[in-house]
Amino acid sequence: MPSPVLYESHMHTPLCKHAVGSPSEYAAYAEKRGLKGIIVTCHNPIPAGYSANVRMDMDEFDLYVDLVEKTRQEWKGRIDVRLGLECDYFPGAELWLEKLHTKADFHHILGSIHPQVEEYQERFFNGNSFEYQKIYFSHLAESAETGLFDTLSHPDLIKNISPSEWDKNRILDHVRTALDRIAKTGVSMELNTSGCQKVIPEMNPGAWILKEMHQRDIPVVIGADAHVPTRVADKYLEALTILEECGYDKIGCFLERKRTEISITQARRSLIEPT
Ligand SMILES: [Zn+2]
Ligand SMILES: [Zn+2]
């Protein structure tokens, strides 16, 4: 049997109030799928009530770190369990995140813009969907430029806000400008397989953006964004195929906040299909 090489790079815990299953259950499913490990990346705490209903509370942070450590000990020698975090980016979040990122030894920090969040919409959505798309992509570039993140999660999530307003030809130049800026930073971007369950049922980002990313040598990390254990590594095989079609032959994975590379051929061989 080929040795495991892949990690689930994006997954959650019940502390964020909209995921189910203990990290141990996610690890068990990862083992079934032939993964080497999991990086727990739950939604970060934010002061002053920014979308407080979908993230851990401020005073639960230590609990989170302990939970991941406990799971790491429990799975030692079988599944490599690592601590990560998914952090919401919006202009003004920088100082808080800078501080938060020093509070534990993280392995993978995701930067996310969640355009469905009410507090974000209140500040940046004036009812014009195209304007909102432009703001999203300029914030995406800005988030990379902060240097706070390893990987930008689901980097075209905005397309699901007003699906009928998502027009490749109209937004193309704005996406290209954002990708030029991101490429200069060296920050990775995610291919998030959970997009298949969204209003526009395709991974985030879609293939045409992946091709633009590849042209700029932007590294890709794959993640299922699992909020239930059985979605660990969900659609990873399909994701690898899409990446190859877009020109990639390697994917990235972060440990100790440093990117390592895995060949797609090797990754494909190591996966075990769900039964
Ligand atoms: Zn979530
Ligand atoms: Zn997530």
In order of their start, the domains of the chain are: 7-270 (3.20.20.140)
φ and ψ at residue 12, rounded to 5 degrees: -125, 175
State in Å: Cα 18 to ligand 1 middle.
Answer: 6
* The pLDDT of residue 1 is above 90: no
pLDDT at 21 (0 to 100): 98
Instruction: Give the ligand with the smallest distance to the CA of 54.
Output: 1
Residue range 197-227, pLDDT digits in tens:
999 999 999 999 999 999 999 999 999 999 9
Q: How far apart are CA 85 and CA 100, in angstroms?
A: 10
* The pLDDT of residue 123 is above 80: yes
Instruction: Give the ligand with the smallest distance to the CA of 39.
Output: 2
* The pLDDT of residue 131 is above 80: yes
State in Å: Cα 96 to ligand 2 middle.
Answer: 19
Instruction: Give the ligand with the smallest distance to the CA of 194.
Output: 2
State in Å: Cα 241 to ligand 2 middle.
Answer: 22
Strand 80-88 and strand 108-112: the pairing is parallel
Task: Please provide the average confidence, as pLDDT, over all residues in the chain.
Answer: 97
State in Å: Cα 12 to ligand 2 middle.
Answer: 6
DSSP result, 183-194: HHHT-EEEEEGG
Instruction: Give the ligand with the smallest distance to the CA of 110.
Output: 2
State in Å: Cα 176 to ligand 2 middle.
Answer: 25
Strand 7-11 and strand 108-112: the pairing is unpaired
pLDDT at 145 (0 to 100): 98
Instruction: Give the ligand with the smallest distance to the CA of 157.
Output: 2
State in Å: Cα 225 to ligand 2 middle.
Answer: 5
Residue range 133-168, pLDDT digits in tens:
999 999 999 999 999 999 999 999 999 999 999 999
Residues 42/64, Cβ–Cβ less than 8 Å: yes
Residue where the block lists tokens 């060949």: 263
Q: How far apart are CA 190 and CA 98, in angstroms?
A: 21
Instruction: Give the ligand with the smallest distance to the CA of 53.
Output: 1
- Find the mean pLDDT for residues 172-181: 98
Residues 50/88, Cβ–Cβ less than 8 Å: yes
DSSP result, 116-148: T-HHHHHHH--S-HHHHHHHHHHHHHHHHHTT-
Strands (E), the chain: 7-11, 37-40, 80-88, 108-112, 151-152, 188-192, 220-223, 250-255, 258-263
**Under 8 Å CB-to-CB from 188, ≥6 apart: which residues?**
150, 151, 152, 218, 219, 220, 221, 252, 254, 259
pLDDT at 48 (0 to 100): 83
Count of CB atoms within 10 A of residue 202's CB? 14
State in Å: Cα 14 to ligand 1 middle.
Answer: 10
The reply to whether the predicted model has a pTM over 0.95 is: yes
Q: How far apart are CA 13 and CA 40, in angstroms?
A: 8
State in Å: Cα 1 to ligand 2 middle.
Answer: 31
State in Å: Cα 130 to ligand 1 middle.
Answer: 25
State in Å: Cα 19 to ligand 1 middle.
Answer: 7
